[in-house]
Structure 1
Amino acid sequence: METDKPLMVVAIDFGTTYSSWACSMTHEYAENPTKMYVRQWIGGEHLSPKAPTTVLIRPDGTTLEAFGYAAEDRYAELVEEGQHKLWYYFKRFKMKIFDNLELSRYTMIEDITGKTLPAMTVFSRAIESMRNDFLSQFKSKLEGRIEDRDICWVLTVPAIWSESAKQFMRQAAIMAGINNEYLRIALEPEAAALLCNYLPLKMFTISGSQSTFQTFQKGSKYMVLDAGGGTVDITVHEVVGGGKLKELHKATGGAWGGIAVDEAFRQFIIKLVGNPVFQKFTIENTDDMLDMFRAFEVKKREMQLMKESTVTLRIPVSLIRIFEKDTGEVLKETMSQTEFSDKIKLLNDKLKVDGTIIRGFFSKSVQSITQYVKSLLKSKQLEGAKSIIMVGGFSECQMLQESIVSSFPEISIIVPQDASLAVLKGAVIYGHNQDAIVQRVCRYTYGIAGAKPFIQGVHKEEHREETDVGLLCDNMFIKFVEVGESIKLHERRGEHYFKLNMENQDTYSFPIYISSETSPTYVTDEGCRILGCGTIVNLDKAVPLKDRKVEVSIIFGGTEMEVEAKEVHTGRKSNVVVDFLL
Structure 2
Amino acid sequence: MALKDKTPPMIVVAIDFGTTFSSWACSLRHDYEENPTKVHVRQWVGGDRISSKAPTTVLIRPDGKTLEAFGFEAEDRYAALVEEGAYKLWYYFQRFKMKIYNDSSLSRNTVIKDATGKPLPAMILFSRTIQFMKEDFLQQFKRTLEGRIQDYDIQWILTVPAIWNERAKQFMRQAAVTAGIRDEYLKIALEPEAASLFCNHCPMKKFVANGSEYASISTFERGSKYMILDAGGGTVDITIHEVIGNGKVKELHKASGGPWGGTKVDEAFQQFIIKLVGNTVFERFSKEHLEDLQEMLRSFEVKKREIHLDKQYQVVLRIPISLIQLCEGESGNSLEERIRQQCTTSNMKLVNDKLKVDSFVMKEFYTDTLNSITSHVLSIFENEQFADVKSIIMVGGFSECHLFQQAIQDCIPHTNIIIPLEPDLSVLKGAVIFGHNPEAILERACRYTYGVAGAKKFIDGQHRQTFRKSCKLGELVTNVFVKIVECGQKIKFNDRQPEQILAMSEDKTEHVFSIFVSEKPSPMYITDEGCSLLGNITISGLDTSVPLIQRKIAITLMVGGTEMEVEAREIHTGKTSKAVMDFLG
**Shorter chain as normaliser: what TM range?**
over 0.9
* 1:157-204 deviations in Å (ceiling 9; x for gaps): 00000100000111111111111110000000000000000002xx32
Aligned to 1:316: 320
Correspondences of 1:518-529 after superposition (within 5 Å): 518-529=521-532
Choose the corresponding residue for 2:196, options 190, 193, 207: 193
Deviation, structure 1 residue 471: 2.6
Alpha-carbon distance in 1 for matches of 2:254, 2:421: 27
Which residues of 2 match residues 234-245 of structure 1 at below 5 A?
234-245=238-249
Q: How far does residue 205 in structure 1 lie from its aligned partner after superposition?
A: 2.6
Number of the residue aligned with 1:511: 514
CA contact (8 A) 1:445 1:480 kept: yes
Please name the residue that 1:428 is paired with.
432
Contact 2:108–2:123 (CA under 8 A) maintained in structure 1: yes
Amino acid at match of 2:335: L
Determine if contact 1:335/1:341 at 8 Å carries over to the other structure.
Answer: no
* Counterpart residue number, 1:485: 489
Is the CA contact (8 Å cut-off) linking 2:307 and 2:359 kept in structure 1? no
2:171 is aligned with 1:168: yes
In 2, the alpha carbon distance for the partners of 1:443 and 1:42 equals 39
- Following superposition, the deviation at residue 466 of structure 1 comes to 2.9
Q: Secondary structure at the match of 2:141?
A: helix
For 2:345 and 2:120, the matched residues in 1 are separated by: 43
Alignment pair present for 1:560 and 2:584: no
Q: Which shifted more, 514-523 or 1-10? A: 1-10
Q: Which amino acid aligns with 2:583?
A: F
Superposed displacement of residue 322, structure 1: 1.1
Match of 2:96 among 93, 97, 100: 93
CA–CA separation in structure 2 for the residues paired with 1:546 and 1:370: 55
2:142 to 139, 142, 153: 139
Cα distance between partner residues in 1 of 2:514 and 2:184? 25
Contact 2:3 2:155 in 1 (8 A): no
Greater mean deviation of Cα atoms: 442-451 or 255-264: 442-451
Deviation at 1:508, TM superposition (A): 1.2
Q: Secondary structure at the match of 1:193?
A: helix
Is the 2:206–2:215 contact (alpha carbons within 8 Å) kept by the matching residues of 1?
no
Q: Distance in 1 between matches of 2:464 and 2:374?
A: 44
Q: In the alignment, which residue of structure 2 is the partner of 1:212? A: 216
Quick one: distance in 2 between partners of 1:59 and 1:434?
41
Name the CA distance, whole Å, in 2 between partners of 1:575 and 1:517: 28
TM-score, L = length of structure 1 = 0.96
1:29, 1:35 within 8 Å by CA — same for their partners in 2? yes
SS in 1 for 2:342: coil
Distance 1:124-1:330 versus aligned 2 partners, 3 A rule: same
Aligned to 1:439: 443
Contact 1:538 1:575 in 2 (8 A): no
Aligned residue among 398, 403, 426 for 2:407: 403
Alignment partner, residue 37 of structure 2: 34
CA distance in 2, matches of 1:295, 1:553: 52
- Mapped partners of 2:296, 2:322: distance in 1: 11
Alignment of 1:303 with 2:307, yes or no, is yes
Gaps of 5+ in 2: none
How far apart are the structure 1 equivalents of 2:506 and 2:464? 29
TM-score norm. by structure 2 comes to 0.96
CA distance in 1, matches of 2:243, 2:393: 13
> In structure 2, do the counterparts of structure 1 residues 38 and 84 end up closer, same or farther at CA, with 3 Å as the change threshold?
same
Distance in 2 between residues matched to 1:453 and 1:37, nearest whole Å: 59
Asked whether the equivalents of residues 391 and 419 of structure 1 are also in contact (C-alpha less than 8 Å), the reply is yes
Q: Which runs of 5+ in 1 are unaligned?
A: none
1:243 and 1:532 map into 2 onto residues whose CA distance is 35
- Paired amino acid for 1:22: A
Question: 1:389-431 CA deviation, whole Å, 9 max, x = no partner?
Answer: 0000000011101111222221111000110000000000000
Cα distance, 1:25 vs structure 2 = 0.6
Aligned residues: 579
**Structure 1 residue 513, shift from structure 2 partner:** 0.7
Secondary structure in 2 matching 1:524: coil
Contact residue 206 and residue 214 of structure 2 kept, 8 A: no
Residue 356 of structure 1 deviates from its aligned partner by 0.9
Which segment drifts farther, 21-30 or 459-468? 459-468
> Identity across aligned pairs (percent)?
58
In 1: Cα distance, 2:471 partner to 2:116 partner: 58
Matched to 2:307, the amino acid is M
Distance change in 2, residues 1:405/1:54 (3 Å): same
RMSD: 1.7
Q: Within the alignment, does 1:224 sit opposite 2:234 as a pair?
A: no
**Secondary structure at 1:167 match in 2:** helix
Task: Report the equivalent of 2:278.
Answer: 274
Q: Distance in 2 between matches of 1:190 and 1:302?
A: 27
Aligned to 1:387: 391
CA distance in 2 between counterparts of 1:558 and 1:267 reads 41
Within 1, Cα distance between the matches of 2:253 and 2:438? 20
Provide Cα deviations, 1:453-487, integer angstroms capped at 9, x if missing partner. Answer: 22221111112223444332221111111111111
Q: Are the aligned partners of 1:215 and 1:222 in contact in 2 as well (CA < 8 Å)?
A: no
State the Cα distance separating 1:207 from its structure 2 match: 2.5
Q: Distance in 2 between matches of 1:219 and 1:321?
A: 61
Contact 1:539 1:574 in 2 (8 A): no
Cα deviation 1:472-503 (Å, max 9, x = unaligned): 22211111111111111122224223444566
Please give the alpha-carbon distance, in whole angstroms, between the structure 1 residues aligned to 2:334 and 2:502: 75
